[in-house]
Amino acid sequence: MSEERNQRHKKAMERRKALVDEKVAQATEERGILIVLTGNGKGKSSSGFGSVVRCLGHGYKAGIVQFIKGTWDCGERNFIEQRCPEVPYHVMGSGFTWETQDRDRDIAAAEQAWEKAEELLQDDSLHLVLLDELTYVLKYGWISQERIFSALQNRPAEMSVIVTGRAASAALRDMADTVAEVGDEKHAFRAGIKARRGIDW
Ligand code: ATP
Ligand code: MG
């Protein structure tokens, strides 16, 4: 009985392995990719920063531009600025738009941050560029889609880019090689639990 079950399992695993092997064999192209991490759930930026660490761990270089985030205390930024000073890290200084309510200031800050991003997107020593919360720049129209897409499309072939932020546009999703929509099944905040240092920021 259990022998028969083992045999069935073995057969099923053999079939699965053949399928996986076939897919692996088909993936022959080697180039950097555009990844979009969007959706309303938690885990987009932390995944982006996790990929930066993964990249640095292999001895590659990475660069980061954080849009939207103000200059307040932020664990990933503290860590990278203190421990990895060689990593270019630019933070758009204006803070959340609903706090500042000053569109001209938002546009000026976005322009500065985007110039930094354009610089990184031309640097062929970088294996990965993280553009954290870039979707809002597009959504609010602070920088034209044309300008953003052109820099993304003309980046070095080996460079990967991660864009995070809610509500990624259809055009951005179309351009991306990998799109992950993080679902918001539950969030502790809605149960009245305060955002936690080292967990949420
Ligand atoms: P993280 O930075 O933790 O990976 P994220 O990038 O997916 O989160 P954002 O939309 O950028 O999420 O929001 C940033 C902050 O808001 C984080 O502190 C996060 O915990 C919190 N947050 C994320 N999703 C939710 C949610 N659905 N409800 C309330 N707060 C949330
Ligand atoms: Mg985020």
Q: What are the 10-residue block averages of pLDDT along the chain, 201 residues in total?
A: 88 91 89 98 97 98 89 86 95 68 85 97 98 95 96 98 98 98 96 95 91
| Residue 115, both tokens | 């110039």
How close is the Cα of 201 to the center of ligand 1, in Å?
9
Distance (Å, rounded) from C-alpha 98 to C-alpha 78?
24
Going along the chain from its start, the domains and CATH numbers come out as: 32-184 (3.40.50.300)
Residues in contact with 198: Cβ distance below 8 Å, sequence separation at least 6, in sequence order: 75
| pTM, full prediction | 0.90
Residues in the ligand 1 pocket, defined by CB under 6 Å: 40-46, 164, 166, 182, 184, 187, 189, 195, 200-201
Q: Tell me if 155 sits within 8 A of 12, measured CB to CB.
A: no
